[in-house]
């Protein structure tokens, strides 16, 4: 037994290091841990993949489908259209957007809720002249705060509910998390709306300054073709051809880079001009001058005649296979069927040719591909599409139907007629049959890396418990009871979980910490409920880094944030949450 838990500890340390390193995607790391423990004989091979049939995994998958269906119903679009009517008051914008994202995150995937509202937030910021950095991190944090208020708001709550089944014979209910979660969410949103955003850096400037960042500020390459109106003109004269607000960064002639061409430089046929502009200005510049985006002509020629070509923006997420690679090394066009048109990055100026830019987490890419497959391709390469500049119309008539199906599933769960995983699978199936969610979106709406992560980590978490590892960790914390009161031990559990969720996936954090929390409660002779609640809350508090949660990663590029910006607002927020959570947990779930 001693040898077993030492092996488990070794595997977990390796797993945590790989999670923190971030070069291997989290689901693959989880599979590595699972395979090692199977080979070591700690996990029975016949039980290795039972995690994929675990109620928590089924529930998470179903919730993701339901969330996507609510999006397609048009509900979020109606809300977004109303939000666009807000005035220019920054405080009102932050409060309203944070509340909407938080409420949406209680019933749908929090990353999805954020991704839908983020373009709206950026549009509001531009319209009002406010830096997007003041708005985006607050609504990202709001998505995490909203997720902790219901059973389906975030995977950690679903996992904790199933752990409670093993301990108490029944899971936490749909709204068991609400009394504590709502108080924390309200306090958290009040903090980020009134104080938190003031702690953030102002990541914007005048258009001429080199450090400007906006979701649309791209580095693009255009080619001077035969019919281009700027052929034979100097760079200075380009302004007379097009009034588009673009900045010329360099030129390429005969495969040689001209880094700082003078205003008198004459533009020749087949010259490549490297420019910086936003999407709208880029479109105007191309129309006025007759130049062609690099790769666009060839891409359209290679595409089948019946294919419609579309352009979409996408944010590179943590764990994406693009990270550290270039468009050239990946052979994006031949391998994925997409064409890189432009790249936007906040932290530093891009000096390399477009196809030799190494992708980083948070980069915003302008991609071109076949319309019917572009969104799926973007998701498959570990990125999140941000194509919706406007709001989709035509789905309003399905809002009542979608809400009716969802409400029916909630009633089944609350009344105890059907287990949560069955009720949500029924709801997801009904939404597909009712054509609220197109069938082609069924499997793409599921975050498969998270599903694989959960399916692999659940047996690993079980191994931590059966090997005696969880009991060993619990004993170390229990030994502190001579120095600390019970509420302080509960605080230790919450803070440790918070710390882990800042560096590894929150679902993995909860899978590892739940058996430890139960062991502590058992050793102290207390109810396991308050300790499980502390783990659930801590798992949703990834506020210190951009890698702790996908919501944080999603806003990193568009908001122009640096890695160290997150703790500015995140650290005081986590301290506030600890101060509120402990007394609330002890009041609602006594020891």
Domain boundary assignment for the chain: 2-48+75-203+447-588, 218-294, 298-385
User: Quick check: 406 pLDDT over 80?
Assistant: yes
Confidence of residue 350 (pLDDT cuts 50, 70, 90): low
Confidence band for 182, pLDDT divided at 50, 70 and 90: very high
pLDDT value, residue 388: 47
Neighbours of 532 (CB within 10 A): 27
* Element of type H or E holding 222: strand 218-223
Q: What is the CATH number of domain 218-294?
A: 3.30.70.1450
Residue holding tokens 């309003």? 396
The whole-angstrom separation of Cα 156 and Cα 97 is 24
List, in order, residues 6 or more apart from 146 with CB less than 8 Å away: 101, 102, 103, 104, 105, 106, 110, 113, 153, 185
- In whole angstroms, what is the distance from residue 342 CA to residue 363 CA? 10
Which of 277-286, 334-343, 554-563, 577-586 holds the top average pLDDT? 577-586
Give the separation between CA 471 and CA 185, rounded to whole angstroms: 32
Among the listed ranges 37-46, 250-259, 476-485, which one has the minimum average pLDDT value?
250-259
Instruction: Compute CA distances 120 → 82, 216, 386, whole Å.
Output: 10, 14, 11
Weakest-pLDDT range from 75-89, 90-104, 173-187, 415-429: 75-89
Q: What is the pLDDT of residue 587?
A: 95
Q: What is the pLDDT of residue 481?
A: 80
Q: For residue 471, which of 528, 524, 518, 525 has the smallest C-alpha distance?
A: 518
Q: How confident is the model at residue 393 (pLDDT cuts 50, 70, 90)?
A: very low
Ranked by mean pLDDT, the top range of 104-108, 128-132, 202-206, 565-569 is 565-569
**What b/e readout covers 362-373, taking b as 16+ CB neighbours within 10 angstroms?**
bbbbbbbbbeeb
Residue 425: band (very low, low, confident or very high) from pLDDT cuts 50, 70, 90: very high
Where does residue 1 rank: exposed (0-12), middle (13-18), buried (19+ CB within 10 A)? Answer: exposed
Distances (CA, A) of 319 to 28, 324, 362, 497: 10, 11, 11, 21
- Checking if the pLDDT of 208 tops 60, the result is no
**What counts of helices (H) and strands (E) characterise the chain?**
24, 9
Distances (CA, A) of 502 to 201, 410, 552, 574: 21, 31, 10, 11
Q: Distance between CA atoms of 408 and 293, rounded to whole angstroms? A: 50
Compute the average pLDDT of residues 198-205.
Answer: 70
Name which residue leads in pLDDT, 146 or 126: 146
Angle at 178 between CA 176 and CA 100, to 5 degrees: 145
How far is it between the farthest Cα atoms of the chain? Answer: 85
Instruction: Please give the average per-residue pLDDT across 438-454, as a whole number.
Output: 80
Question: At 495, is the pLDDT very low, low, confident or very high (cuts 50, 70, 90)?
Answer: very high
User: Is a pLDDT exceeding 70 seen at residue 465?
Assistant: yes
Please report the pLDDT score of residue 203 as a whole number.
Answer: 58
CB 112 within 8 A of CB 73: no
Answer yes or no: are the C-beta atoms of 242 and 284 closer than 8 Å.
yes
Do 218-294 and 298-385 have matching folds? yes
Query: What whole-number percentage of the chain has pLDDT above 90?
Result: 20
Taking each helix axis from N to C end, the angle separating 155-168 and 448-466, rounded to the nearest 10 degrees, works out to: 30
Q: Mean pLDDT lowest for which of 131-135, 526-530, 557-561? A: 557-561
User: Does position 98 have pLDDT exceeding 50, yes or no?
Assistant: yes
Please state, rounded to an integer, the average pLDDT across all residues of the chain. Answer: 81
Distances (CA, A) of 43 to 9, 201, 255, 512, 518: 14, 48, 57, 15, 21
The answer to whether the beta carbons of residues 289 and 242 sit under 8 Å apart is yes
Residue 582: the pLDDT is 96
Q: 535 pLDDT band (50/70/90 cuts)? A: very high
What pLDDT is attached to residue 588? 94
Give the range with max mean pLDDT: 184-188, 338-342, 464-468, 553-557: 184-188
Please tell me the predicted confidence (pLDDT) of residue 209. 29
Secondary structure class of 269 (helix, strand, coil): coil
pLDDT value at position 53? Answer: 86
- C-beta separation of 223 from 291 below 8 A: yes
Q: Cα–Cα distances in Å, from 184 out to 181, 277, 426, 581?
A: 5, 41, 31, 7
Query: Assign residue 319 a region: left if phi > 0, alpha if psi is -120 to 50, beta otherwise?
Result: left
Checking if the pLDDT of 296 tops 90, the result is no
Count of CA atoms in the C-beta half-sphere (13 A) of 33: 34
Give the pLDDT band of residue 572 (cuts 50, 70, 90): very high
Cβ–Cβ < 8 Å for 358, 326: yes
Residue 295 has what pLDDT?
58
Least confident of 275-284, 327-336, 474-483, 510-519: 275-284
CATH number of 298-385: 3.30.70.1450
**Residue 174 CA, distance from chain mean position:** 24
Q: Which two tokens stand for residue 264?
A: 């008198």
User: Angle at Cα 362 formed by Cα 359 and Cα 368, nearest 5°?
Assistant: 65
Report the SS3 class of residue 170. coil
Please, which residues have CB within 8 angstroms of residue 301's CB and are 6 or more apart in sequence? none
Question: Do 505 and 19 form a contact (C-beta atoms < 8 A)?
Answer: yes
């Amino acid at each position: 037994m001693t040898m077993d838990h030492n092996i488990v500890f070794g595997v977990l340390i390796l797993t945590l290091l790989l999670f923190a390193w971030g070069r291997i995607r989290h689901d693959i790391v989880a599979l590595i841990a699972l395979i090692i423990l199977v080979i070591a004989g700690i996990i029975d091979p016949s039980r290795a993949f039972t995690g994929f049939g675990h109620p928590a995994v089924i529930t998470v998958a179903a919730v993701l489908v339901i969330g996507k269906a609510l999006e397609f119903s048009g509900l979020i679009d109606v809300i977004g259209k109303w939000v666009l009517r807000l005035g220019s008051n920054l405080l009102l914008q932050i409060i309203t957007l944070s509340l909407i994202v938080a409420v949406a995150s209680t019933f749908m995937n929090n990353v999805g809720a954020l991704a839908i509202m983020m373009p709206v937030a950026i549009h509001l910021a531009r319209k009002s002249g406010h830096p997007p950095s003041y708005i985006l991190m607050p609504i990202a944090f709001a998505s995490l705060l909203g997720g902790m208020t219901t059973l389906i708001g975030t995977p950690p709550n679903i996992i904790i509910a199933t752990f409670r089944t093993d301990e108490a014979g029944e899971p936490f209910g749909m709204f068991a998390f609400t009394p504590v979660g709502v108080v924390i969410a309200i306090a958290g949103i009040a903090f980020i709306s009134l104080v938190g955003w003031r702690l953030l850096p102002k990541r914007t400037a005048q258009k001429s300054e080199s450090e400007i960042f906006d979701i649309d500020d791209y580095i693009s390459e255009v080619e001077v073709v035969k019919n281009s109106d700027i052929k034979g003109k100097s760079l200075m004269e380009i302004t007379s051809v097009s009034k588009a607000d673009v900045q010329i960064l360099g030129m390429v002639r005969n495969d040689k880079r001209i880094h700082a061409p003078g205003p008198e430089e004459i533009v020749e046929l087949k010259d490549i001009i490297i420019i910086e502009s936003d999407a709208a200005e880029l479109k105007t510049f191309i129309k006025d001058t007759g130049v062609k985006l690099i790769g666009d002509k060839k891409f359209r020629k290679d595409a089948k005649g019946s294919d419609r070509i579309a352009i979409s923006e996408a944010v590179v997420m943590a764990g994406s296979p693009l990270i550290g690679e270039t468009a050239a090394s990946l052979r994006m066009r031949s391998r994925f069927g997409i064409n890189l048109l432009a790249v936007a990055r906040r932290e530093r100026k891009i000096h390399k040719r477009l196809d030799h830019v190494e992708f980083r987490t948070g980069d915003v890419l302008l991609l071109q591909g076949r319309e019917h497959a572009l969104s799926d391709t973007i998701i498959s390469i570990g990125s999140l599409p941000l194509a919706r500049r406007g709001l989709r119309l035509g789905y309003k008539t399905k809002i009542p139907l979608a809400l009716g199906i969802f409400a029916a599933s909630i009633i089944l769960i609350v009344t105890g007629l059907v287990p949560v995983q069955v009720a949500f699978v029924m709801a997801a199936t009904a939404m597909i049959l009712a054509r609220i969610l197109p069938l082609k979106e069924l499997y793409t709406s599921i975050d498969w890396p998270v599903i694989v992560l959960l399916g692999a980590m659940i047996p690993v978490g079980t191994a931590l418990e059966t090997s005696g590892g969880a009991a060993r960790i619990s004993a170390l914390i229990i030994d502190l009871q001579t120095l600390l009161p019970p509420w302080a031990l509960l605080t230790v559990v919450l803070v440790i979980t918070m710390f882990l969720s800042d560096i590894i996936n929150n679902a993995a954090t909860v899978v590892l910490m739940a058996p430890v929390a139960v062991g502590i409660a058992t050793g102290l002779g207390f109810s396991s409920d308050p300790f499980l609640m502390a783990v659930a809350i801590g798992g949703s508090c990834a506020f210190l880094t951009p890698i702790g949660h996908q919501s944080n990663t999603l806003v990193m590029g568009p908001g122009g944030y640096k890695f160290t910006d997150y703790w500015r607002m995140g650290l005081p927020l986590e301290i506030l949450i600890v101060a509120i959570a402990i007394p609330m947990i002890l009041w609602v779930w006594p020891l």
